[in-house]
Structure 1
Amino acid sequence: MKRFATFCLAAMLSVAPLVPAWAEGLVPRSRAEMALSFAPVVRAATPAVVNIYAKRVVAARQSPFANDPFFRDFFQNFGQVRPQVQNSLGSGVVLSADGIVVSNYHVVGQAEDIRVVLNDRREFTARVLLSDADSDLAILQIEDAPGDMAHLDLRDSDDVEVGELVLAIGNPFGVGQTVSSGIVSGLARSGAAMGNGRGYFIQTDAPINPGNSGGALVDTNGDLIGVNTSILTRSGGSNGIGFAIPAALVAQFVAQAKQGKSRFERPWAGISGQEVDAAMAETLGLDVPGGVIVAHLHPESPFAQAGIDVGDVIREVDGLAVNTPPEMIFRMSVAGLGAKARVGFYRNGKDREVTVQLIGAPETPPRNPVTTGRDSALPGLRLETINPAVAEERGLPGEATGVLIVDPGLVGARVGLLPGDVIQAINDVPVVRSEALAEVLSSVTRRLEIGLLRQGRQMVLRLRL
């Protein structure tokens, strides 16, 4: 037995030198080190995360058939329209000592009354400085803020790596401030969490539930790396796939809010394109799939001005890879209006680089708002000429042309026209200017055939006058 013990000791001594030197520093040397905890980070970060209660008034129809499983589908527009109060619950993050708060648009968008409740239960009213539905972000200002509010610093989210430990802080289900932990489980998730496809997210497995929206995703230093916004779920609860809007975009929102802007202005690309898959990469001669192939360029696009053409594959913006159109727009938005971006692209077997001036969507030709008069075939029709700025505001394709219906008026609504319809032809004659369309509508007599673009579909509306 003694010989066996001597052998074991000798084996242990012979193995010990094989332990890597870096591992020696990871061995706990005290009881305190053995009880590792997130408590110091939580103590520092939670005072800057707030609960938000928002109230908005919406118009709703009160139908006697609303609860009938058979008739409610037949009488969807039946009943009197009455105002109805909607309440929403969410979270927010204080970003400055004077009370600048970031939250989600879906929490505070169009709200008429916003209350912010701090970690110590103090309550304040707040107002929206800047909001954007596409990015699902809103910047608030707390009224009568004390001036020394606890706040979080923004970390450059481009430095975040998959596998980092993170904490999600918010108010899930209204139970009160809650902290959950996890890791960064994915980066560059575009279009995964938002139906409009403009989103670009950090993915985390830290449990996020309803009420966490607008809350903080912080690293182990307590710095904000993202704003929690949504989850993928079938049950309504957390399945470990949550999404946060990167802090780099939040920084641009705060900058524009401080400049006095009420609507977020993102750089205009003037490009339509699609991501390059494996089959397309082989055809183009690329070693690996990736990038955005340019399918259409607006004549005034800053990319076109810089020398990029249809068929080129945009692979990088400011040295960072882009693999989807939302990713490219995100990179441009982070750079900001007025900046110059280095754009790497692939053409004819070679990688090239150009400098692109980031500009807003131009107002050319002028939108020229027009309202048709009483002598028109469709009186009271409010029209605008489509230009890049109008297309950007209304979510229209970049190559869209024609005249936008802002308001169909009473007569237009009765014949089936809707706000957002694009009139492209009258009686088979193309129209691209609002004033020209108004003039044509004043001269038609018996037959009116309207060529429309509605939600990407071509339609024809035929009327007898």
Structure 2
Amino acid sequence: MLRSIAIALLVLSSPAVAETQVPTSQTEIQLGFVPVVKAVTPAVVNIYARRVIEGRASPFADDPFFGQLFQNFGAQRPRVENSLGSGVILASDGMVVSNYHVVGQATDIRVVLNDRREYDATVLLADEESDLAILQLTGAEDLPALTLRDSENVEVGELALAVGNPFGVGQTVSSGIVSGLARSGTVTGNTRGYFIQTDAPINPGNSGGALVDTNGRLIGVNTSILSRSGGSNGIGFAIPATLVRQFMEQARAGATKFERPWAGITGQPVTYDMAEGLGLARSGGIILSDMHPASPFGAAGLNPGDVILSVAGQEVNGPAEMIYRMTVAGIGAELMVTAVQGGVQRDIAVPMQRAPESPPRATLTTGARAALPGVTLSTINPAVMAEYDLPLTASSGVLVVDPGEIGARAGLRAGDTLLSINGAEVATSTDASAALERARGRLALDVQRGQRRLTMRFRL
């Protein structure tokens, strides 16, 4: 009997019996990713980018005062910065998505496919805030591309594969699961948004690579990790594919700058204590604290003090989530917002629109006769507020776009808001320029800088 069992085991383990088969069910796919990897990796590319930075060796180069005194100190030393990352082919004609921090400011981009074909690339659309960039490969055609999956259907616990070029060792695939959704405020740098969290190992060089499901569909673009050592600790973040689709559509339409719908509101998450005071059954949602007069939410009937519970049928628990929902809907769409007003729950349709250019920004540069010549000014309007990320408290006044040489030496900074000049309020760039030309003997500027209000006084 034992001899028969041993012979049977030898037969089962022999090479003649072993056979590689394509998985035919979800269960079999979970046991082996070979078919998925073969389908996905041709559409994931390696990106080599570089930019040349012209700069002086002077340690005072960035100082507005000493930089002028030592402007000829040291010789020009061009510096080359190289970056290595990954990308995902979105269309057969060579449209590729990657991270802004990989290619956003590059002057030379080279893309290498999995089959070792190489292409030059140009940036069609890039956005630092979202950390996304759309590239076009020169002369590419009939390339393999990934299908984008609706990120709203992604669930925690799904198996996921991360594909990229970590540490420049070559294309690598790592596996894990979707660990969390609706992650915001967890990524460093200038990136702000809404992320998919995964424990699939992501390392430097994986940035811009693909996070795919077991059907080979793109669910996100790998962007960053949380790590003290610089290596993967199992906490990685990917930008949802739904947002990538919005970038792709705007790039196809010829946009050179990514546009988001404008909200014109501020708010904060509703905590447990706040929910009790507002008469809500549970915590969650956003309570509106301030609203611009031109806000589409205000035009739709919402007011400060109202609580937004969901947008487009999806619960929102913070401003980043709501902005994400608005962004993926796109300008021209209409979102259904569920809100609580005076204890009554209502569904309100809110149009998604651009920040209005009213009043006109009327950008100008002060002339030689002005007390501060060479200062570039713009009238603040909703479009200016959105472009320069100004708070709603800075909804009026004149923005200092560029302080110029003399303005910088006087202490002005780009992003400052001029409220009044010599005691007279200024509402437009024309008002500010005229006031600077009239100034004689003395100059007093009331300036809003972030959360601080400053008064600058000068003798002329």
Residue 92 of structure 1 aligns with which residue?
87
Greater alpha carbon shift after TM alignment, 315-324 vs 34-43: 34-43
Distance 1:334 1:432, change over 3 A: same
Tell me how many residue pairs correspond in the alignment.
427
CA RMSD, 1 decimal: 2.2
Q: Does 1:410 align with 2:402?
A: no
1:61 is displaced (CA, Å) by: 3.9
Q: Does 1:432 align with 2:427?
A: yes
- Give, as a single letter, the amino acid of the residue that structure 2 aligns with 1:464: R
Residue aligned with 2:262, SS? coil
Which of 113, 138, 144 matches 2:139?
Answer: 144
Q: Deviations over 1:191-244 (max 9, x none)?
A: 211444631000001111111110000000000000000111111111111000
Q: Deviations over 1:263-303 (max 9, x none)?
A: 11110001111111122111111122111111111111110
1:63 is displaced (CA, Å) by: 4.7
Residue 348 of structure 2 aligns with which residue?
354
User: CA–CA distance in 1 between the matches of 2:59 and 2:455?
Assistant: 35
After the TM superposition, which residues 204-243 of structure 1 pair with which residues of structure 2 at under 5 Å, given as runs?
Answer: 204-243=198-237
Q: Deviations over 1:23-78 (max 9, x none)?
A: xxxxx99xx96993111111100000000011112244425899xxxxxxxx9x98
User: CA–CA distance in 2 between the matches of 1:51 and 1:410?
Assistant: 42
After the TM superposition, which residues 19-418 of structure 1 pair with which residues of structure 2 at under 5 Å, given as runs?
Answer: 36-63=31-58, 82-145=77-140, 147-196=141-190, 198-400=192-394, 401-418=396-413
- Give, as a single letter, the amino acid of the residue that structure 2 aligns with 1:445: R
Residue 17 of structure 1 aligns with which residue?
none
- Give, as a single letter, the amino acid of the residue that structure 1 aligns with 2:245: A
Residue aligned with 1:62, SS? coil
1:183 is displaced (CA, Å) by: 0.4
User: CA–CA distance in 1 between the matches of 2:388 and 2:420?
Assistant: 20
Distance 1:369 1:295, change over 3 A: same
Residue 14 of structure 2 aligns with which residue?
none
CA contact (8 A) 1:364 1:387 kept: yes
Residue 20 of structure 1 aligns with which residue?
none
Residue 456 of structure 1 aligns with which residue?
451
1:339 is displaced (CA, Å) by: 0.5
User: CA–CA distance in 1 between the matches of 2:421 and 2:76?
Assistant: 35
Residue aligned with 2:433, SS? helix
1:458 is displaced (CA, Å) by: 2.0
- Give, as a single letter, the amino acid of the residue that structure 2 aligns with 1:413: A
1:349 is displaced (CA, Å) by: 1.8
User: CA–CA distance in 2 between the matches of 1:41 and 1:177?
Assistant: 15
CA contact (8 A) 1:402 1:424 kept: yes
User: CA–CA distance in 1 between the matches of 2:142 and 2:399?
Assistant: 48
Distance 1:455 1:366, change over 3 A: same
Structure 1 unaligned regions, length at least 5: 1-27, 67-74
Residue aligned with 1:272, SS? strand
CA contact (8 A) 1:298 1:399 kept: no
Residue aligned with 1:311, SS? coil
User: CA–CA distance in 2 between the matches of 1:454 and 1:92?
Assistant: 39
Residue aligned with 1:186, SS? strand
1:315 is displaced (CA, Å) by: 1.2
User: CA–CA distance in 2 between the matches of 1:237 and 1:126?
Assistant: 29
Structure 2 unaligned regions, length at least 5: 1-22, 62-69
Greater alpha carbon shift after TM alignment, 414-423 vs 220-229: 414-423
User: CA–CA distance in 2 between the matches of 1:181 and 1:51?
Assistant: 19
Residue aligned with 1:245, SS? strand
User: CA–CA distance in 1 between the matches of 2:76 and 2:356?
Assistant: 39
CA contact (8 A) 1:64 1:79 kept: no
User: CA–CA distance in 1 between the matches of 2:297 and 2:91?
Assistant: 36
CA contact (8 A) 1:51 1:170 kept: yes
